């Protein structure tokens, strides 16, 4: 079927013809958890319109995946509440499903796909999702397509992962302009009239009760985005939780990793983006690394859960900068500054949002062993191995690190922020990783510990950029530096130099051992 969605973003998982006798087009929402700026939703809507069939959006949340915990569930369920509110009264049926126990959701996709004309889902390169898509393609009886809405550059625009940001930037300069006009629709459901589905069949609802029946209504609606204005009137921050938290105690997930104050969903994400544009972007180039200045966007959790799209963020920055692609200037030579033709602050932000973020997505998409020690560049492995026997000033266990019990005040503060808030300020996150590399017996242990702690606690963990950041600590995307003990030629960072470089008073007051954690 002809498509407005660029063909390069559509991957056919089941190459069957469309089942025109089906009851609906099924959008199986698994990564792009949003109703705006989403190529996969665009594809599902265009199919439903052209077939004149209803659209069923099925958003599922499993329990049996690594690091499943209240914290991550809470964010996704907040997003579900947002979707339920947004879709109320529209001609689209929404079916949110939270698996009550491991394996309970088995068969649901297959059952829904059995009555579908076609299944459209999200393409994304990491975690359990690629494996889940392959497994789904064995049981879906109709056409199934996975659509890439990960970033500005389609994942398949490159044929390999790039080894350094500089090379990728050059590639972007050459390739990205032709894709800049291909953004997804800002509001794909606006004004859309589709035939309505007469509800999801009762047999399905009985076997797989939707989340709004599984969870008590007043609790489920804690994340209702329409409450935001009331919170704002009260002077409260609508991106932060204020009501009671969901009762997730019956679910077989890790309850020790508790929800943070950050609320999930597109409403909260958009609010944060607007605040950043109003007060943050201008200071970004200079102050991003300063833990006390709050000049970074803090958007990574919502980007991770798919609650906001990189396209939407880019478009908002472009609008604020009064930018159009005609402002791109000069040769496609990989320059960090001046190519976009935006202000220095905006270019610096776009370099993180596009170059660094999509470097990681592309790498994970093309290099399936992205999470293994062996995927490090050869020079990094060689030098780390050569120094694996060097004496370490300290060696800490996973438990000591987890409980922030090291002798390093700054590191402990960063770890406390991670455990309590699910984030670490950007510069300190690099230091956090570098110290783990210095404090473990072997670089392989450092890798395992970083992956474990980052993915257990970080709201934005389990993401392509988790592996970018963690493997960057070990030399990926970087070059060799003067050789040192323990690190070899891998770039070093120390708490001593960090203390000299950054103002940390307020940060340590909050996250240090005496901090209030409030
Ligand atoms: C050890 C370590 C672990 C990391 N783990 C994660 C992780 O689990 N998830 C994650 O999203 N990022 C991770 N990063 C990268 C980076 O620290 C975060 O993306 C950034 O701090 C998020 O804060 P922000 O949203 O305010 O970013 P901003 O500075 O406002 O940047 C905007 C967006 O650009 C992207 N971005 C920014 N910096 C980087 C970077 N260095 N690499 C890739 N993308 C970037 C993010 O999507 C971010 O939201 C890690 C870095 C390190 C050193």
* Strand 92-98 to 116-123 pairing: unpaired
Question: Looking at ligand 1, which atom is closest to the CA of residue 433?
Answer: 1
Residues 127 and 158 in one domain: no
Q: What is the pLDDT of residues 134-161, one digit of tens each?
A: 999 999 999 999 999 999 999 999 999 9
Does ligand 1 lie within 6 Å of residue 460's CB atom? Answer: yes
Question: Distance, CA 141 to ligand 1 centroid (Å)?
Answer: 39
Q: Nearest to residue 4, comparing CAs of 177, 156, 183, 149?
A: 183
| Among 277, 460, 461, 477, residue to substitute to test ligand 1 (most atoms within 8 Å of Cβ) | 460
The last residue of one of the domains, among 350, 368, 386, is: 368
Atom of ligand 1 nearest to the CA of 430: 53
Same domain, 171 and 137: no
Q: How far is the CA of 190 from the centre of ligand 1 (A)?
A: 32
Say how many Å lie between the CA of residue 313 and the centre of ligand 1. 15
Protein residue closest via CA to atom 14 of ligand 1: 469
Read off the pLDDT of residues 442-497 as tens digits, 9 standing for 90 and up.
999 999 999 999 999 999 999 999 999 999 999 999 999 999 999 999 999 999 99
d(CA 358, CA 152): 8
pLDDT tens for 210-228 read 886 544 443 333 433 334 4
The span from the CA of 59 to the CA of 76, in Å, is 10
Instruction: Judge contact between 436 and 450, C-beta under 8 A.
Output: yes
Domain assignment present for 167: yes
Give the strand pairing for 143-148 and 116-123. parallel
| List of the chain residues with pLDDT < 70 | 212-246, 515-518
The string over 96-122, giving b where at least 16 C-beta atoms fall within 10 Å of a residue's C-beta and e elsewhere, is bbbbeeeebbeebbeebbebbbbbbbb
Q: Which of 188, 10, 1 lies closest to 92 in space, CA to CA?
A: 188
Q: Write down the pLDDT at residue 271.
A: 96
> Does the residue 390 lie in any domain?
yes
Dihedral sign computed on CA atoms, order 25, 29, 30, 36: positive
pTM across the whole model:
0.95
Residue 468 beta carbon below 6 angstroms from any ligand 1 atom: yes
User: For atom 47 of ligand 1, which residue has the closest CA?
Assistant: 300
Q: Which residue has the least CA distance to atom 6 on ligand 1?
A: 466
Alpha-carbon gap, residue 106 to 214, rounded angstroms: 17
Instruction: Please give the Cα distance from 474 to 480 (Å, whole number).
Output: 11
**Residue among 416, 439, 415, 413 nearest 493 (CA):** 439
Residue 479: give its domain's CATH number. Answer: 1.10.579.10
The alpha carbon of residue 514 and the mean position of all alpha carbons in its chain are separated, in whole angstroms, by: 32
Sheet holding 24-29, edge to edge: 10-14, 143-148, 116-123, 24-29, 55-61, 92-98
- Does 210 contact ligand 1 (Cβ within 6 A)? no
Domain contains 118: yes
Cβ of residue 355 lying under 6 Å from some atom of ligand 1:
no
Supply the DSSP string of 472-514, one letter for each residue: HHTTTB----S-BTTTBTSPP--HHHHHHHS--HHHHHHHSTT
311 and 425 in one domain?
A: no
Q: Where are the alpha helices (DSSP H) in 353-442?
A: 357-366, 378-386, 398-402, 409-421, 426-438
* Nearby residues of 148 by Cβ (< 8 Å), 6 or more positions away: 9, 10, 11, 39, 123, 124, 154, 155, 156
**Judgement on whether residues 316 and 178 belong to the same structural domain of the protein:** yes
Ligand 1 in reach of 425 Cβ (< 6 A):
no
Same domain flag for 294 and 352: yes
Give the Cα separation of 148 and 99 in Å (integer): 25
Same-domain pairing of 351 and 418: no
Reading the block at residue 270, the tokens are 């958009």
Distance 465 CA to ligand 1 centre (A): 6
Give the CA distances from residue 240 to residues 70, 189, 243, 278, 424, in Å, rounded to whole numbers and listed in that order.
Answer: 16, 27, 9, 18, 17
Helix (H) or strand (E) holding 268: helix 266-278
Residue nearest to atom 40 of ligand 1 (CA): 356
pLDDT of residue 246: 66
238 Cα: distance to centroid of ligand 1 (angstroms):
23
User: Is there a contact between 380 and 464 (Cβ–Cβ < 8 Å)?
Assistant: no
pLDDT at position 199 is 85
Q: Are residues 409 and 501 in the same domain?
A: yes
- 27's enclosing H/E stretch is strand 24-29
309 close to ligand 1 (CB < 6 Angstrom): no
Structural domain for 24, as ranges = 1-149
Asked whether residue 328 falls in the same domain as residue 389, the answer is no
Same-domain pairing of 66 and 89 = yes
Contact in structure between 147 and 40 (CB atoms under 8 Å): yes
Domain membership flag for residue 516: no
Is the minimum distance from the CB of 470 to ligand 1 under 6 angstroms? yes
In a domain, 407, yes or no: yes
DSSP 181-230: T-PPPS-TTTT---PPP--S-HHHHHHS--HHHHS-HHHHGGG-GGGHHH
For residue 44, the CA-to-ligand 1 centroid distance in Å is: 30
Question: What CA–CA distances, in Å, run from 317 to 20, 107, 281, 353, 448?
Answer: 42, 43, 9, 11, 37
Q: Is 453's C-beta closer than 6 angstroms to any atom of ligand 1?
A: no
Are both 74 and 128 inside the same structural domain? yes
CATH number at residue 357: 1.25.40.80
Same domain, 103 and 155: no
Supply the pLDDT for residue 102: 94
Total number of domains constituting the chain = 3
Amino acid 218: pLDDT? 37
Buried b (16+ CB within 10 A) or exposed e, 483-502: eeebbbbbbbbebeebeeeb
Of 122, 149, 176, which residue is a domain's last?
149
At residue 2, the pLDDT reads: 80
Q: Out of 149, 178, 210, pick the residue that ends a domain.
A: 149
Which residue among 67, 300, 358, 424 has the greatest number of ligand 1 atoms within 8 angstroms of its CB, and so is best to mutate?
300
**Going by CA atoms, what residue is nearest to atom 18 of ligand 1?**
426
For residues 168 and 308, state if they share a domain.
yes
CATH number, domain of 69, equals: 3.40.50.620
Per-residue pLDDT, 241:
58
151 Cβ below 6 A of ligand 1: no
- Residue 236's pLDDT is 53
Residue whose CA is at the smallest distance from ligand 1 atom 38: 352
CA of 416 to the centre of ligand 1 (A): 18
Residue 162's closest CA among 154, 153, 171? 171
């Amino acid at each position: 079927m002809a498509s407005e969605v660029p063909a390069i973003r559509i991957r056919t998982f089941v190459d069957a013809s469309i089942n025109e006798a089906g009851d609906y087009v099924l959008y199986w929402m698994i990564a792009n958890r949003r109703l705006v700026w989403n190529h996969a939703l665009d594809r599902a809507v265009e199919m439903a319109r052209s077939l004149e069939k209803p659209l069923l959006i099925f958003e599922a949340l499993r329990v049996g995946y690594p690091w499943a915990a209240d914290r991550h569930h809470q964010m996704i369920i907040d997003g579900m509440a947002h979707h339920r509110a947004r879709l109320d009264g529209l001609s689209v049926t929404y079916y949110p499903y939270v698996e009550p126990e491991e394996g309970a959701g088995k068969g649901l996709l297959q059952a829904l796909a059995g009555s579908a004309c076609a299944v459209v889902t999200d393409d994304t390169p990491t975690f359990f999702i690629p494996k889940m898509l392959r497994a789904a393609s064995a049981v879906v009886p109709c056409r199934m397509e996975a659509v890439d809405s990960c970033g500005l550059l389609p994942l398949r625009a490159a044929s390999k992962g790039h080894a350094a940001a500089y090379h990728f930037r050059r590639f972007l300069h050459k390739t990205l302009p032709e894709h800049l006009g291909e953004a997804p629709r800002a509001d794909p459901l606006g004004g859309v009239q589709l035939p309505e589905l007469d509800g999801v069949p009762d047999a399905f609802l009985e076997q797989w009760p939707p989340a709004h029946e599984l969870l008590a209504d007043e609790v489920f609606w804690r994340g209702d985005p329409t409450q935001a204005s009331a919170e704002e009137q009260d002077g409260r921050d609508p991106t932060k939780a204020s009501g009671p938290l969901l009762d997730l105690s019956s679910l077989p997930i890790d309850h020790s990793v508790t929800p943070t104050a950050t609320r999930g969903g597109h409403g909260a994400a958009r609010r944060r983006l607007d605040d950043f544009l109003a007060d943050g972007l201008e200071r970004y180039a200079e102050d991003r690394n300063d833990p006390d200045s709050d000049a970074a966007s803090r958007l990574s959790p919502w980007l991770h859960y798919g609650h906001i799209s990189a396209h939407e963020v880019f478009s908002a920055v472009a609008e604020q900068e009064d930018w159009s692609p005609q402002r791109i200037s000069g040769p496609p030579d990989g320059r960090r500054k001046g190519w976009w033709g935006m202000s220095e602050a905006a270019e610096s932000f776009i370099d993180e949002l596009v170059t660094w973020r999509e470097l990681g997505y592309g790498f994970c998409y093309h290099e399936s062993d992205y999470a293994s020690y062996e995927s490090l560049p050869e020079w990094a492995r060689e030098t780390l191995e050569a120094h694996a026997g060097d004496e370490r000033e300290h060696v800490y266990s996973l438990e000591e690190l987890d409980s922030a019990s090291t002798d390093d005040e700054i590191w402990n503060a960063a770890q406390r922020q991670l455990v309590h808030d699910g984030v670490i300020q950007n510069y300190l996150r690099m230091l956090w990783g570098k110290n783990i590399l210095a404090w473990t017996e072997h670089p392989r242990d450092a890798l395992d510990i970083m992956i474990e702690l980052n993915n257990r606690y970080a709201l934005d963990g389990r993401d392509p950029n988790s592996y970018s950041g963690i493997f960057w600590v070990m030399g990926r995307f970087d070059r060799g530096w003067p050789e040192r003990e323990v690190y070899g030629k891998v770039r070093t960072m120390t708490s001593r130099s960090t203390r000299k470089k950054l103002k940390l008073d307020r940060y340590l007051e909050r996250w240090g051992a005496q901090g209030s954690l409030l």
